[in-house]
Amino acid sequence: MFDVVILAGGLGTRLRSVVSDVPKCMAPVGGHPFLEWILKWVGEFEVNRIILSLGYKGNIVTDWVESEQRFCSLPIDWVIEETPLGTGGGIRLAMSKTAAGRVVVLNGDTFFNVDLDALCAFSQNTGSLLTVALKPMDDFDRYGSVILDGDGRITSFNEKRYCEKGLINGGVYCIDASGGLLADKPEKFSFEKEVLEPLSRKGLLSGFVSDGAFIDIGIPEDWELAQTFIPSNIR
């Protein structure tokens, strides 16, 4: 069993042309908020509870959860950033409400169909403080590529550029909450720059490869694609 943190405080700047009045996680997809689909999917796994990390217009999310929690059998709690804390600060604030053990962290604007139970088991069996779920992808330039060595350790994160074939960071993480990874960081910090990259240089970051369905609704084109993609992949 594990807790899940969903990062749902994004401004959705690139979606403003099609979704302008709600946080990105509440963008309508297939007649429902995107977050509803993610909560439905998360409920399929051995999860204790869910903590939402909120910011921009967070009250819209909390009001919706309180009125619509019938769709999810799991306890849902949340934290709201009074000022932006960066991805790292937001994760640490949300993890203050999690239990000891493994915590899965998800991006609230991305669906990556990873077996979360298998991800946590892999992370625990390898003794990794932090495991990143990696998605194999062909012909891409929107995402940076990730280099994985033969021992399953991430050695580097490359900048965005065209790749014919490679692995990308799927935005799903398993963190050992007892490891103190975020304890010495400033109030506001980048999870990617100040946690993932330093750990990769030290050989302390493991990668879990999964070829599950993947979509990021952060741009209008992919939000439109999600209208049929998400209902087809989350039932």
| pLDDT tens column, 185-213 | 999 999 999 999 999 999 999 999 999 99
* Residues 2-133+169-177+213-233, CATH architecture: Alpha-Beta Complex (3.90)
Indicate if the pLDDT at residue 28 is higher than 60: yes
Average pLDDT of the residues in 59-87: 85
Q: CB–CB of 105/5 below 8 Å?
A: yes
Q: How many angstroms separate the Cα of 4 from the Cα of each of 22, 62, 136, 184, 231?
A: 23, 17, 23, 22, 22
Q: What is the pLDDT of residue 137?
A: 95
Cα–Cα dist 162/115, whole Å: 28
Indicate if the pLDDT at residue 151 is higher than 60: yes
Confidence of residue 22 (pLDDT cuts 50, 70, 90): confident
Residue matched to tokens 């967070």: 58
Indicate if the pLDDT at residue 72 is higher than 70: no
| Total-model pTM | 0.93
Q: What is the pLDDT of residue 140?
A: 92
Indicate if the pLDDT at residue 228 is higher than 70: yes
Q: Of 162, 224, 223, 173, whose CA–CA distance to 200 is shortest? A: 173
Of all residues in the chain, what percent carry a pLDDT higher than 90? Answer: 70
Indicate if the pLDDT at residue 18 is higher than 70: no
Q: What is the pLDDT of residues 99-131, one digit of tens each?
A: 878 999 999 999 999 999 999 999 999 999 999
Tell me the pLDDT of the chain averaged across its residues.
90
71: left (phi over 0), alpha (psi -120 to 50) or beta: alpha
Q: Of 133, 143, 107, 111, whose CA–CA distance to 23 is shortest? A: 107
